[in-house]
Amino acid sequence: MLEGKNLVKRFGGLTAIDNLDFYIDEGKITGLIGPNGSGKTTLFNLITGYYKPDQGIIKFKGRPITGKKPHQILKMGIVRTFQIVRPFLSMTVTENVAVAALYGRANLNSMKEAIQYSKKWIEFCGLESKTNTPARELTLVELKKLEIARALATEPEVMLIDEVFAGLNPSEVDQAVETIKRIRSELGITIFIVEHVMRAIMNICDHVIVLHNGKKIAEGTPVQVATSPPVIETYLGKR
């Protein structure tokens, strides 16, 4: 459904993505892991149009999307969340989600409709008690929920989730895992998730890609990947 071939991205002298191929199956939850600096967020930025690859192409449902702008890619059905949350601080929770409802694929036109429509997503993420709270007053967990709700309101087919578990305690992690599973099972959205928290990855993903220095060093089911020698070497060092 979403694939990339021969992707290269350099920043000055640093090659962040080095001849990378990837393939995301529809309806699956695919994980992307790797040490810090291995290029995970860069890949997300490439897919969603924030960076242009120096080489290679990215295709979505068979159509090339390389070089398109973020809002265009969004309208085609790919949404992303941000590692460091990016709420619209001057707005309330509802207004935040309403922006996505207005400018996402739902393409609503009136504020009234947008606010009405947003309720559904706010509830899905468990933020009902905070609908009229200004975003600047939310806790980190609530902000992450908001980020997800806003992404959902754009009616995506594919959702790119960037390190959403960072900073959550174990029970919050479990809650988040549940929500993500529901996104796939109830809404049919394909998920591509970057994560460090192993517990979450093992729990959720059908398929995992491992990145190191911009290259793919392993791929497979969570168990396969966890036991593959290159991965062990990268995370634990050579014996």
Q: Which is nearer to another protein, 51 or 235 (CB)?
A: 51
Count of CB atoms situated within 10 Å of the CB of 64: 10
Inter-residue contact 110 to 137 (CB < 8 Å): no
In the complex, minimum distance from the CB of residue 111 to another protein, in angstroms, rounded to a whole number: 6
Q: Which is nearer to another protein, 72 or 129 (CB)?
A: 72
In the complex, minimum distance from the CB of residue 99 to another protein, in angstroms, rounded to a whole number: 5
Q: Which is nearer to another protein, 23 or 103 (CB)?
A: 103
Q: What are phi and psi of 178, to 5 degrees?
A: -60, -50
In the complex, minimum distance from the CB of residue 203 to another protein, in angstroms, rounded to a whole number: 26
In the complex, minimum distance from the CB of residue 199 to another protein, in angstroms, rounded to a whole number: 25
Q: Which is nearer to another protein, 33 or 79 (CB)?
A: 79
∠ CA 178-131-187 to the nearest 5 degrees?
35
In the complex, minimum distance from the CB of residue 90 to another protein, in angstroms, rounded to a whole number: 5
Binding site for another protein (CB under 8 A): 48, 50, 69-72, 74-75, 79-80, 82, 86-91, 95, 98-100, 102-105, 108-111, 114, 136, 140, 150, 154
Read off the amino acid at residue 114. A
∠ CA 184-198-167 to the nearest 5 degrees?
85
Q: Which is nearer to another protein, 50 or 235 (CB)?
A: 50
Q: What is the Cα–Cα distance from 119 to 116, expressed in whole angstroms? A: 6
In the complex, minimum distance from the CB of residue 162 to another protein, in angstroms, rounded to a whole number: 11
Non-local CB neighbours of 44 within 8 Å, separated by 6+ positions:
80, 160, 162, 194
The beta-strand segments (E) located in the chain are: 2-11, 14-24, 29-33, 55-60, 63-64, 78-80, 158-162, 190-194, 207-212, 215-220
Q: Which is nearer to another protein, 74 or 210 (CB)?
A: 74
Task: Compute CA distances 20 → 58, 64, 166, whole Å.
Answer: 11, 16, 26
